[in-house]
Amino acid sequence: MNHNMRLEIFTMVISEEWSTYRDDDVEKANFVKSKLLNDNSWDKVSYIIDFTRPIYDMIRFCDTDKPCLHLVYEMWDSMIERVKFEIYKKEEREMSDFSVFYDVVYEILVARWAKNNTPLHCLAHSLNPSEAWLTEDSTRISPHKDGEISTERMKCCRRLFPSTEDHTKVMIEYALFSTKSGPFEDLTCILEISTMEPKLWWANFGAHTPYLQTLAFKLLGQPSSSSCAERNWSTYSFIHSLKRNKLTTSRAEDLVYIHNNLRLLSRNTQDYQDEKTKQWDVGGHEGDI
């Protein structure tokens, strides 16, 4: 929570208008006011925001129609590490120590990941060139050396390529890719990993592995959520409601188009630039609608 938001809340409870709200339930109003004016309460709020921010950031990033399916697996690991860092910083512990609170949070996050994780996440992660050839970070390993990822990737490939011949070809192509062999030995191919988008990288250097290249084009261009499409339908439902059910289909579609364009234009307003209304823009100023 930034300083301006906190200041606005302070202003609310010390204003003369607060007494008009207080009359409804004096006891509850006094309790709320005492909490909002208490520094210890704000310290707790700040702590909660600090260790939940990584979770929120990941959800918000994935809640766009940007191609990010191949980023989810690594983002999840990074998010857990960031949560751990914030909790341990607050508890003043070494990262190798045991924390009861973090252990509870960790179990909740892992349970959620186990529920949402699919073989496609692992396959997309495996086809991300920047992840496949990790060498600079000793705390991370390449997807083909990770047992869980390899198992899920194989499971996905068996379903996508039921033919024994096709499945064997895919396995051979992935072996070449993951070990920098054959067509992937080229120096330009290796150097461009850090400068080129994954999908573009496959377009340039994946011609000799057609099965993998086809998979990469499909998976590396996929969003991880259907929320943006659902928001369009929500807008359509808002416009074409029971009270306005006589609208023609084309008319309703035009209104949805106008509504979304007005949202884009609102990002140029001063209130949006000052972040007064930016927080309500779920897709984010860089996200497509």
Q: For residue 287, what pLDDT is reported?
A: 46
Contacts of 189 (CB under 8 A, 6+ apart): 183, 204, 205
Q: For residue 47, what pLDDT is reported?
A: 94
The CB density around residue 283, as the number of other CB atoms within 10 Å, is: 19
Determine the Cα–Cα distance for residues 133 and 140; give it in Å rounded to an integer. Answer: 11
Cα–chain center distance at 64: 8
User: Measured on CA atoms in the order 136, 138, 142, 145, is the torsion positive or negative?
Assistant: positive
Q: For residue 80, what pLDDT is reported?
A: 94
| Angle (nearest 5°) at CA 25 between 20 and 30 | 85
- Nearest Cα neighbor of 127 from 182, 57, 58, 72 is 72
User: Measured on CA atoms in the order 117, 123, 126, 128, is the torsion positive or negative?
Assistant: negative
CB 263 within 8 A of CB 234: no
Q: For residue 270, what pLDDT is reported?
A: 77
> Which residue positions in the chain have pLDDT lower than 70?
1-3, 22-24, 134-139, 228-236, 238-245, 275-289
